[in-house]
Amino acid sequence: MSAIDWIAAILTIIGGLNWGLIGFAGFNLVSSIFGEGTMAERVVYSLVGLAALYQLIRLLFRESVAERTDRR
């Protein structure tokens, strides 16, 4: 895995853990660390969102390549 793959994976995990904390405990770790409604909080959420989009594109591209390979 490349460095960007690792960064995207870590950010996606952080986002998933934060949503798990929100869902199970009603606790938003990102807001607790950076403050609610701050620019830093928005940056973290934006980076997590971009990482998730990157992971989704990688997943879809990997599947489409695998499908083309299977057809041969």
pTM of the model: 0.80
Q: Does residue 20 register a pLDDT over 70?
A: yes
pLDDT for res 47: 97
Say which range, 7-11, 16-20, 59-63, has the weakest mean pLDDT.
59-63
Q: How far is CA 23 from CA 26, 31, 55, in A?
A: 6, 14, 22
Average pLDDT of the chain, as a whole number = 91
CB atoms within 10 A of CB 30: 20
Average pLDDT (60-70) is 71
Q: Give residue 36's region: left, alpha or beta (phi > 0; psi -120 to 50).
A: beta
d(CA 64, CA 40): 36
**Would you tell me how many other CB atoms lie within 10 Å of the CB of residue 60?**
10
Q: Is the pLDDT of residue 70 over 90?
A: no
